Amino acid sequence: MTALWDYLRRSRQAVEAAGLHKVTLTKASPLVSLTDQGAVTGHLQINLHWTMRQADLVQQRGGLLRPGLFRPTQPQVSTRPMVNVDLDLACMYELADGSRGVVQPLGNLLGDLQRPPYIKISGDDRYGAPSGETMYINLDKRDSFKRLLVFVYIYDGTPAFDRTHAVVTLFPYVGPRIEVALDERAPQARSCAVVMIENKDGNLTVRREVRYVYGFQAELDRLYGFGMQWQRGYKTPQGTPE
């Protein structure tokens, strides 16, 4: 019985250690190879999660020291008003056969895992819910991919990348998760290229981008040369893409 409990304890410790194991892509260390990690099968899950930053507090000194009174100065606290932010997760793709496109909530372009582009987004989180937004990539079809640009954009509303804590996390079928924080202040940006997934000579890599632009998909397209035509898309008030 003691041996059994020791085995279960070691197994639990191994699971907990694996759960904590992650790779964080930074400017200094922007690249990881999924091939080298043996993580090139199954579904690659990509999750976007964000929360609003706490409003900045600005203390303004005021008041006068009256004769005979020793009173601490009462600060006047002001805050920036909260804004509505709707971050969307999306992916531009270029397949090995030359076909190109985008998977995103706008236009109901939710993709397909079993047919090209072998990418699918689960839905649209408009409020920063704990589950966030999730995209899946079928790596069993990795030979069909040339490059995939995972990006985040602010649908309508006020540009507010500087007022959100946003993290994109990649969960391979095996191996450590990969985290990319959108932690640079870009108050006027509306879109951010997060990672580029590329298949070069059978080596599947993930490279941190975190490049902010002031426009939307068309500007990211010009930056990365996908060569697609774009038009404005909208959502219904209930969040259903149109």
**CB-based contact 32:178 (threshold 8 Å):** yes
Q: Examine residue 9 and state whether it is found in any structural domain, yes or no.
A: no
Q: What share of the chain is helix, strand, coil (3-state, %, to 5)?
A: 15, 40, 45
Look at residue 1 and tell me if it is in a domain. Answer: no
Domain residues for the domain of 200 are 18-53+83-224
**Residue 222: enclosing H or E segment and its boundaries?**
helix 217-224
Does residue 220 lie within any of the structural domains?
A: yes
What is the chain's pLDDT, residue by residue, as a tens digit (242 residues)?
A: 555 444 434 434 443 444 458 999 999 999 999 999 999 999 999 999 988 765 533 333 343 334 443 333 344 444 555 556 778 999 999 999 999 999 998 888 999 999 999 999 986 544 445 456 899 999 999 999 999 999 999 876 667 788 888 999 999 999 899 999 998 878 889 999 999 999 999 999 999 999 999 988 999 999 999 999 887 665 555 444 33
CA 106 – CA 90 distance, rounded (Å):
9
Domain assignment of residue 60, yes or no: no
Residue 62 inside a domain? The answer is no
CA nearest 46: which of 34, 29, 30, 28? Answer: 34
**Is position 114 within any domain?**
yes
Tokens describing residue 37 = 């990690």
CATH of the domain at 140: 2.60.60.30
Q: Does residue 140 lie within any of the structural domains?
A: yes
**How many domains, the chain?**
1
Is pTM beyond 0.85 here?
no
Task: Look at residue 144 and tell me if it is in a domain.
Answer: yes
The two structure tokens encoding residue 116:
């090209």
